[in-house]
Amino acid sequence: MSETTGSQLPAGTREPSAHGGSQARGIWIALASSAAFGISGSFARGLFEAGWSPTAAVAARMAGAAVVLAIPAVLAMRGRWVLVRTNWLSILLFGLFGVGACQLCYFLAVQRLDVGVALLLEYLAPVLIVLVLWVRHQKRPSAATIAGTLLSLLGLIAVLDLTGASAIDPIGVLWGLGAAVGLTVYFFISAKVDGALPPIMLSAGGMAVGAITMLLVGALGILPMTFAAGSGSFAGFQTPWWAALIGLIMIATVFSYTTGVMAARALGSKVASFISLTEVLFAVLWAWLLLSELPGLVQLFGGLLIVAGVVLVRVDELRALRKGQ
């Protein structure tokens, strides 16, 4: 997800109640996670300017994160390796689609679009989830969910700014929508994972699967796999490739995923998921500060519509869950 969904816990995970100082601390941790996730597009842009291809950037990001997360993941398992065997398919699909395809499509979109616009397209995932569930279960959504969906679709039209002076790259738009599809698959997969499987093991396993997949994609020539020792412009300075890569791995992946899990455990995944929506705002802010990118007023308005629509859909979902309890 972008990787914002790292703040989600698989279905069945206990959501402890958080009160007072614990809840306030959880909110700050969740905001830190969103800020870290939001900077991934800016770090990736630095690698692209240094001569890296999106496939290489995703492969290096996931491989580095898998190595860093390996030891904590092993410690978290503590002899419960049978859970990996019983959840191997979910881990595989998580790595292929929820991590690999989602990140690759997002980075390919960032290569052609502003960081903020690419992320807003990815954030149409909740709308796609509503449509998939509608078709699969033949159950008409509530009026509030339909309103939120339409609001997000109107926001998409505004983000594309079809009548604006600056043309939007249609290939970049397709990659952004592909990232939304990958994020949608992630939600469905993580909802079916055994809650006893530690989230950090799911993250580490998914990163390893995604890295291997990207390396195979490059080795087979499906997409270019280009590494380079150049530099890119970052906050007005020429930054070497290794600095952007370290930031992408340690800040935008390891730190963001770890704090996302911490926030979900402190607040519950539902509250944490609402706060994760701030990733869009952080991504736009980072792109403005570090890359001097800022979407036009019409695109910013469209982004607000998308976020408002997603919030409306999720509020309606929580209301339905409360009624069912």
Convert the pLDDT of each residue in 138-151 to its tens digit: 777 788 888 888 88
Residue 216 has pLDDT above 80, yes or no: yes
How far is CA 254 from each of CA 148, 159, 205, 246, rounded to the nearest angstrom? 32, 30, 13, 10
User: What is the CB neighbour count within 10 angstroms for residue 25?
Assistant: 15
How far is CA 138 from each of CA 11, 130, 132, 141, 150, rounded to the nearest angstrom? 23, 11, 10, 9, 19
| Model pLDDT, residue 321 | 63
Closest CA to 215 of 85, 74, 26, 59: 59
Highest mean pLDDT among 34-43, 55-64, 223-232: 55-64
Any idea which of 16-20, 71-75, 223-227 has the lowest mean pLDDT?
Answer: 16-20
3-state secondary structure of 233: strand
The separation between CA 35 and the C-alpha centre of its own chain, rounded to angstroms, equals 12
pTM (predicted TM-score): 0.76
Closest CA to 257 of 205, 310, 204: 204
Average model confidence (pLDDT) for the chain? 80
Using only the alpha carbons of the chain, give its radius of gyration.
Answer: 19
3-state secondary structure of 240: strand
CB burial readout 160-194, b (16+ within 10 A) else e: bbeeeeeebeeebbebbbbbbbbbbbbbebbeebe
Residue 166 has pLDDT above 60, yes or no: no
Any idea which of 21-35, 140-154, 209-223, 306-320 has the lowest mean pLDDT?
Answer: 306-320
Residue 232 phi, psi dihedral angles, 5° rounding = -135, 160
Q: Which residue has the higher pLDDT, 44 or 233?
A: 44
pLDDT band at 211 (very low <50, low <70, confident <90, very high): very high
Give the model confidence (pLDDT) of 63-121 as tens digits: 999 999 999 899 988 888 888 888 888 889 888 988 889 989 999 998 888 887 888 88
Residue 288 has pLDDT above 50, yes or no: yes
Percentage of the chain lying above the pLDDT 70 cut: 83
| Model pLDDT, residue 58 | 92
